[in-house]
Structure 1
Amino acid sequence: MAAAGFLVTLAIFLVSSSSFSYAFDDDPLQDFCVAVPDASAGVFVNGKICKNPKQVTTDDFLATGFNTPASTNNSLGFGVKVADVNLIPGLNTLGLTVLRVDFEPDGVVPPHMHPRATEVIVVLEGTIYAGFVTSNPTDNTKNKLFAKILKPGDVFVFPIGLVHFQRNVGETKGMGIVAFNSQNPGLITTGNAVFGTDPRIAPEVLTKSFQVDKKVIEYLQSKF
């Protein structure tokens, strides 16, 4: 457990220390800006409104429950617990979000991207195949895949804005701690963004783009 605690601390330190120089989130201008719940704020801002510092308590910087697994009862076989500014108001303006990700055997986090954050995962249980794909090369060659099979104790980084994925390739359950250098990293799941929009992208656009039969596109759209 001591080793696991060290690895989690390392992941959070790596992301949070880099965020002050490179994150898109604004740097804090005071010790803390504990968030007021949106329903109580009265206005919407790019971030959260600060609570009166005199009303701040220790609990504003605390979350519990990361020692229990997230539900993986879904078709993809993975689940997450999120520690963000909505759970820990004291994270406001600090440029940090932390997740616990649990995997069933063969569970997969499908290809997706975070437009506002770099991601780092520390694997604590299981055998996780993880990777990311580069943006389109300028020389018309194929996008390059950087992927690795990760074991407990391994740390892997997914650069900001690049498509990436994780899959448990082991025979037992897997678990990792993920950290982002943004309090609102954003999430674009590739399949949903292409096949699950409302309204739908015209099948003719996707048929031409993917060079497949229209029935294939209509089938994929029916799944999202």
Structure 2
Amino acid sequence: MRIGYVKNWRQVNTSTEKFEKMKKVGVEKIIVELGTNKDNYQKMLLESIESMVEKDILVIDSLDDLGDSIVDIINVVRKLDDKGLAIHVINTNVDRKFVDDWNLQRLLLKQLLLVLVWVEDKEKNEIKKRQAKGMEVIKALKDSRGSGRPKKYSQYAKDPEDREIYFNVIQMLNHDVPITKIAESLKISRNTIYTIKEEYLHNDND
């Protein structure tokens, strides 16, 4: 059986469009969430999945209907997988022959779960990287305060234009541009360039 689910706690008008789409793909029963509390809609969805039997297909308009976060969506997809169910996401525009083949729908669900888990892991890793980078910036700022006046040109410079000049100097040095030419091009002193070069080489050796 094809069972549709409409998350309707935000926009009622959109749901009418979803009803029409579901009728076109052969949905026999539609579960509608009419609550306004976003914490309750997934509870109702999970309870509805519990009442489904093996080889049923949950039909939704988009993955957003399953939850507001990737963790919520993975939770629902895992529950579908554990119960031996399949999923049909209408806005993916899957070929009709795939829609009518339960085994293919089942395979798509497993592939979807793998992709979602991969995305979740990637997001976690990106957050960790940003946190680590933030800690580096904080440490660098603390070190600069402890050693006197903060450096005007550095990768942690407060002014974005000063940071840009710093990276331009590094790039030009790496391309063997003469220091005199760099000074003329960026309108900074040769001593400043030597200081940036020395700091860069020191950090690179660390």
Q: The TM-score by the shorter chain falls in which range?
A: under 0.3
- Tell me the TM-score normalized by structure 2: 0.25
Q: Which structure is higher in RCO with an 8 Å CA cutoff and minimum separation 6?
A: 1
More strand by share: 1
- Tell me the TM-score normalized by structure 1: 0.24
More helix by share: 2
